[in-house]
Amino acid sequence: MSDAGDGQSPGHFEGKVVLVTGGASGIGLATARAFARRGASVVVAGRTPETLDRAARTIGAEGGEVTAVPCDVRSEEQVDLLIARTVSVYGGLDVAFNNAGVSLVGSLTTMTPAEWDDVISTNLTGTYLLMRGEIGAMVGRGGGVIVNNASNAAHMTLPTMAAYSASKAAVLSLTRAAAKEFVARGVRVNAISPGPVDTPMWSTRPGESREDRHRRMAAAGPSGKVGTAEEIAELVVWLASPHAGYIAGHDLVVDGAMSS
């Protein structure tokens, strides 16, 4: 888009500080790149330092301002350090995309408590820990925007997706509760619920090639397609822009009508 006032143009987020968890690949990396192209200073966080460094080099090569911070969102201490490092390096926090998550495919009756705990502690507790610190930083700065990455699995599910679906449905409830509590203090909290998106995490399933899974998931929805990380990134950027300034406590489903 070419209109400098459209909320999507280069420079629109100049002077803004954006935190993206799960920022080393897939939707997270695409979103971090999209914000950096628009002038934001971006902090990318994830569990693996090597992939984070690679992501930071990618953003830097495109002219973006970026800092990579290793963080396991299941850890209260690491999350607190992530927020503190963001504020220390860039002076505050304006936008957060809580994207870090894990998936688990397996029967509810054979899933171990440890597997259940890993999904819930990453997808739900991690989102809570992040929001707790992000909201504090944003309120002190006069406001901000949080976008939580849920899933259309919170709206429709499969027999082998119990833990993942439960965690993402809980993220939606957490989003609504936080939005209602903090919107009057200048913090807008929303969620997105993507359907199948062509990312490294989504495309790796035991016994099925990436190409076969892509074809199967494309055929499963009425649109006959799978989303791209870049499409989701543009949605997050829009939700963080002033054009979405009256949107809070909302879940935007983006799945080509799969869950309709």
What are the residue numbers of the active site?
A: 164
Q: List all residues 6 or more positions away from 51 whose beta carbon is below 8 Å from its beta carbon.
A: 24, 25
Query: Would you state the structure tokens that stand for residue 239, as one six-digit string?
Result: 């939700």
CA separation for the pair 153, 150 (Å, rounded): 8
Hey, which residues does 67 pair with through a beta bridge? 43
CA separation for the pair 157, 165 (Å, rounded): 6
What does DSSP assign to residue 91?
Answer: S
CA separation for the pair 61, 72 (Å, rounded): 26
- C-beta of residue 17 within 8 angstroms of C-beta of residue 93: yes
CA separation for the pair 205, 199 (Å, rounded): 12
